[in-house]
Structure 1
Amino acid sequence: MSDQISEITVTEVAEVLANLRVKLMRIFIIIAIVWGISFATLSNVIIEKIKMDLLPEGAELIYQAPLEVMMLRLKISIILGVVVALPYIVYLTYQTLKERTELLSNIELTRARVIIYASLAAILFISGVAYGYVLMLPLFLQFLYESAQGQGVLAMYSISEFISFVVMMLAVFGLIFQMPLFMYVTVKNGLARLDTFKYYRRHFYIIFFTLAAIITPPDVFTQLMVGVPMVLFFEISLIIVKIFA
């Protein structure tokens, strides 16, 4: 009997690992394809666009290593690959938890719902990137440049650090703008109650501004530019959930 149990267990583990390997291979293929296309076509365009739109007038970008721009292009391409693969990663995570646990037993994702949720997530992500690119980052980078000038310091940024910072902040805002969709799906499918979010409102505020302090330089202006949108989107999310969920 024990030999049979061990044989069944080994077989199940082998099946799980084989299934996991196939899924990981698919994710890797998606990231690799997007990475290759982005590296060949988009990475230079993104770098030049950011330099033209967001570099404060009078500031300069410098190279600190011979391969700095090449590594920067690789980094941007990988980030784009992960962003494109993220919906599939979320779907695989949902599918795995659905099959192996009871955590998501209340959630039934039809093809129509997947399309709707994916479309809304893409719209919200693009809206967050647009907010960061058009409103937040120009003000913030100009503020830092003027602060450096006020101290009599020349603003000379490493091209890798400057572009990487901009891309990271845009990704953060894209994720922040997912909050209404996340809360709607959570409440709609019974994973949490609306009253719970309301009860812990102050705690969420503290978390938001703590995150803002972690991911931004240590000045109040920048932290407000990141933390306030989180608070606003939390309150907007509560209204959306109350109306629709």
Structure 2
Amino acid sequence: MSDPQQTQTEGNEETFISHLVELRDRIMRAGIAVIVVFLGLVYWAPDIFKLLARPLMMNLPKDGKLIVTDVTGSFFVPMKVTMMVAFVIALPIVLYQIWAFVAPGLYQHEKKLVVPLVGSSYILFLCGMAFAYFVVFPTIFRVMAHYNAPLGAAMNTDIDNYLSFVLTMFIAFGVTFEVPIVVVLLVRMGILTVKKLRQIRPYVVVGAFVVSAVVTPPDVFSQLILAVPLIVLYEAGIIAARLIVGKQKEVADEEEHAPS
């Protein structure tokens, strides 16, 4: 006669192993999606890097240029940029694989929340990257070129350093544009209320300028173009949270007064 406890233990081990196998398969599918997109773009890797470098090149002085200080930099840097672009393009597939893995363990109301949440997060992150590329980069490079002119030094930037800088800016502004999502989640989960979010507004404003001072170059214009959107997006999150909470309250009232 088999031991029920032993049988339960074996069943738990099999379930754990099956989850690991599924996780491996999901990761492999996500990785394959990124690699396929990368292979489709790799031929245009130099052009993709030129497109990324365009905001800098358009604001460099006449004697300024991009340089390569590493022997393999001219090959690997465009490859890194292309891989980054491939990941962004394939991100919906990556997110779907994550969703497919965690969905069986979610309640129905959580599933309804995750899809619009992930979709809006992806769109907002892309908006943050676009804002950095079209607004932030030209402003920062123009200001840096202006500061460099009185020094009489040639403004030559290594392509690897440039890539590190733009990646930092993309991540910073991509995360910044996620602020409304974070605010709505905090209210939805009951961690904070709309009233509390309004009360801590002064601290958020100070924090926005502190974060912008750390992330961006040390000039007023660069700090403002990160701090101001962060504050505006925080306010947008409060408005969205207030609308969502109001809608939830109406639904709850209707269910409470509905005839049994």
| TM-score normalised by the chain length of structure 2 | 0.75
Q: 2:28 is matched with which residue?
A: 25
The 2-side partners of 1:84 and 1:186 are apart by: 29
Match of 2:19 in 1: 16
1:1-245 counterparts in 2 under 5 A?
Answer: 1=3, 2-41=5-44, 43-55=45-57, 56-58=59-61, 59-93=64-98, 96=101, 99-100=104-105, 106-109=109-112, 114=115, 120-184=120-184, 187=187, 193-245=193-245
Letter matched to residue 157 of structure 2: Y
Task: State the shift of 1:86 in Å.
Answer: 3.4
Alpha-carbon contact 1:44-1:73 (below 8 Å) kept = yes
Deviation at 1:188, TM superposition (A): 5.0
1:184-208 CA distances to partner (integer Å, 9 max, x unpaired)?
4554576754334334434444543
Question: 1:47–1:163: 8 Å Cα contact kept in structure 2?
Answer: no
- Aligned partner letter, 1:135: V
SS of aligned partner of 1:64 = coil
In structure 2, the residue corresponding to 1:157 is in which secondary structure? strand
Query: What do residues 42-61 of structure 1 show as CA deviations (whole Å, max 9, x unaligned)?
Result: x3223222434332232211
Q: Give the partner amino acid of 2:77.
A: L
Amino acid at match of 1:25: M
TM-align CA RMSD? 3.1
Deviation readout 1:28-73 (Å, 9 max, x if unpaired): 11111122223223x3223222434332232211111232121112
Q: CA separation in 2, counterparts of 1:243 and 1:12?
A: 41
Q: Which runs of 5+ in 2 are unaligned?
A: 246-260
229-238 vs 142-151, which moves further: 142-151
Q: How much has 1:75 moved relative to structure 2?
A: 1.2
Counterpart-to-counterpart distance in 2, 1:12 and 1:122:
32
SS at match of 2:38: helix
Distance 2:193 2:90 in 1: 30
Once residues 15 and 70 of structure 2 are traced to their aligned partners in structure 1, the CA distance between those partners, rounded to angstroms, is 50
**Residue aligned with 1:217, SS:** coil
Superposed CA deviations along residues 180-239 of structure 1, whole A, max 9, x for unmatched, are 344345545767543343344344445433432333234444223212211111112212
Distance in 2 of aligned mates of 1:234 and 1:77: 32
4+ aligned runs moved over 6 Å, structure 1: none
Larger of the two Rg values belongs to structure:
2
Distance 1:121 1:61, change over 3 A: same
Cα gap change, 1:193 to 1:81, in 2 (>3 Å): farther
CA–CA separation in structure 1 for the residues paired with 2:235 and 2:43:
42
Consecutive unaligned residues of structure 1, counting only runs of 5 or more, are none
Distance 1:35 1:211, change over 3 A: farther
Amino acid of the structure 1 residue aligned with 2:48: I
Indicate the SS of the match to 1:61: strand
2-structure distance, mates of 1:68, 1:106: 49
TM-score of the superposition, structure 1-length normalised? 0.79
Give the direction of change, closer, same or farther, for the CA distance of 1:3–1:181 in structure 2 (3 Å limit).
Answer: closer
